[in-house]
């Protein structure tokens, strides 16, 4: 055990020495180059949140229709999942750090490159399929294909693969595979960013928080997680620099001097985009549930995220040290909707909102019996009126017979 610890410490010192040597050989960044890099990172961060949020609204409607048709409730992140997420992320992060210290990072990155190669192609296909399909010439027909693998016989048949596609999807797969090959062999930063943006948009679209409380727990936990692993240790920075995978967006600070072959990168982790992004997407769905003309909660929190990210870049530049972006993004993203709800009087409505309600709220539990009771009273009154009217008619008929 002591030998393993000594080996970890020795390789840690070697990695620090390599970082110092690489830093000394970097071409100094100009103020213009740094400004270009920071502005590009901010733009690449806010666009996936904006488009992913609107795509999440469409996906939410599709989920509701599927639930109404088949009765299968969509999977969403529970409050327990949100509370456990920072702990699981910490274990995974430290595990990667140990792996990079013990094993050769070339072999680890080789495995990760192969994994993200296929994952990135699928993410790009899901994102660009409608666009490429509209650009495909009409000469290529939309011939439908269906792959269906089952297991078992008779009543015990289980579907393993059930996938439908057409020729346009194959064209899309070929185009995305070319970008994947570019990333696989060149590891170019543009290919990395294309994969990263695709991951971010898909995550904001498909990962749904069910309610505001779950979002507050998740962001609050990751707020502490980010501060600890950035300020408390060098683990996150070391892993981010060693991890050659599209889990971060990068942009060269020396692009004006070196062009597309620049090497001095500024970076932003996808977690700093996706985590606030799924919360902002929840606020857009909440806005739509209110059926108001303006998406006040979405746009105000989206602007707060932009300001928080801008603050992160400025402080990182002033102190020349890596910053935990969630330190500035979480207060902005949590404080803004709460302040807006307080001003508009929507606090109760905001916290009662659920994408997919599991149980009726207290208000619904109170209101529903009242409605049922009032309906029964109306029915009994109508029935009483009918009986009274029938009795009156019978009396009038008896009187007429007596007169006759």
> pLDDT of 307-363, one tens digit each?
999 999 999 888 877 788 999 999 999 999 999 999 999 999 999 999 888 754 444
Residue 272 annotated in active site? yes
- pLDDT of residue 15 exceeding 60: no
209 phi and psi, to 5 degrees?
-85, 135
Mean pLDDT of the chain: 81
* pLDDT the model gives residue 311: 94
CA distance to 126, 143, 165, per residue, from 136 (Å): 16, 13, 15
From the candidates 226, 254, 287, 355, give the one annotated as an active-site residue.
226
From the candidates 2, 162, 254, 272, give the one annotated as an active-site residue.
272
- pLDDT of residue 387 exceeding 50: no
Are 283 and 297 within 8 A, CB to CB? yes
pLDDT average, residue stretch 3-17: 45
114-149 pLDDT, tens per residue?
Answer: 899 999 999 999 999 888 888 888 777 888 888 888
* pLDDT the model gives residue 174: 93
- pLDDT of residue 276 exceeding 80: yes
More confident residue, 390 or 68: 68
| pTM of the predicted model as reported, rounded to 2 decimal places | 0.79
* pLDDT the model gives residue 26: 56
* pLDDT the model gives residue 44: 96
209-249 pLDDT, tens per residue?
Answer: 999 999 999 999 999 999 998 888 888 888 887 878 888 99
* pLDDT the model gives residue 27: 57
Counting residues of the chain whose pLDDT is more than 70, the rounded percentage is 81
* pLDDT the model gives residue 386: 46
71-112 pLDDT, tens per residue?
Answer: 667 778 889 999 999 999 999 999 988 988 888 888 888 888
Would you say the C-alpha torsion 147, 151, 156, 158 has a positive or negative sign? negative
* pLDDT the model gives residue 28: 64
pLDDT category at 398 given cuts 50, 70, 90 is very low
* pLDDT the model gives residue 161: 81
Residue 162 annotated in active site? no
């Amino acid at each position: 055990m002591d030998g393993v610890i000594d080996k970890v410490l020795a390789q840690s010192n070697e990695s620090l020495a390599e970082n110092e040597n690489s830093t000394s050989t970097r071409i100094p960044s100009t103020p213009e180059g740094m400004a270009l890099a920071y502005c590009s990172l901010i733009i690449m961060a806010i666009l996936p949140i904006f488009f992913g949020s609107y795509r999440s609204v469409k996906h939410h409607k599709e989920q509701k229709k599927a639930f109404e048709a088949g009765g299968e409730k969509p999977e969403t992140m529970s409050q327990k999942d949100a509370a456990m997420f920072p702990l699981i992320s910490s274990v995974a992060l430290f595990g990667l750090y140990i792996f990079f210290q013990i094993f050769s990072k070339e072999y680890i990155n080789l495995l990760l490159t192969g994994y993200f190669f296929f994952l990135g192609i699928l993410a790009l296909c899901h994102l660009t399929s409608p666009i490429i399909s509209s650009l495909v010439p009409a000469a290529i027909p939309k011939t439908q294909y269906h792959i269906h693998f089952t297991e078992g016989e008779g009543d015990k048949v289980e579907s393993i693969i059930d996938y439908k596609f057409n020729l346009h999807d194959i064209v899309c797969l070929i185009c995305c595979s070319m970008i994947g090959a570019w990333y696989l062999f060149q590891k170019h930063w543009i290919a990395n960013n294309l994969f990263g943006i695709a991951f971010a948009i898909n995550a904001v679209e498909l990962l749904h928080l069910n309610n505001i409380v779950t979002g507050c727990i998740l962001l609050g936990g990751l707020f502490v997680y980010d501060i600890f692993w950035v300020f408390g240790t060098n683990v996150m920075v070391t892993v981010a620099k060693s991890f050659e995978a599209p889990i971060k967006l990068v942009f060269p600070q020396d692009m004006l001097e070196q062009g597309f072959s620049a090497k001095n990168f500024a970076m932003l982790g996808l977690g700093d985009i996706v985590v606030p992004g799924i919360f902002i997407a929840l606020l857009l769905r909440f806005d739509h549930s209110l059926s108001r003309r303006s998406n006040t909660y979405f746009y105000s929190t989206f602007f707060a995220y932009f300001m928080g990210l801008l603050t992160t870049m400025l402080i990182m530049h002033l102190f020349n040290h890596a910053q935990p972006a969630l330190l500035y993004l979480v207060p902005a993203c949590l404080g803004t909707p709460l302040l807006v709800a307080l001003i508009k009087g929507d606090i109760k409505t905001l916290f009662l909102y659920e994408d997919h309600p599991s149980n009726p709220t207290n208000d619904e539990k109170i209101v529903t019996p009242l409605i049922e009771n009032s309906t029964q009273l109306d029915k009994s009154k109508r029935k009483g009126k009918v009986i009274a009217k029938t009795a009156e008619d019978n009396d009038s008929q008896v009187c007429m017979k007596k007169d006759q």
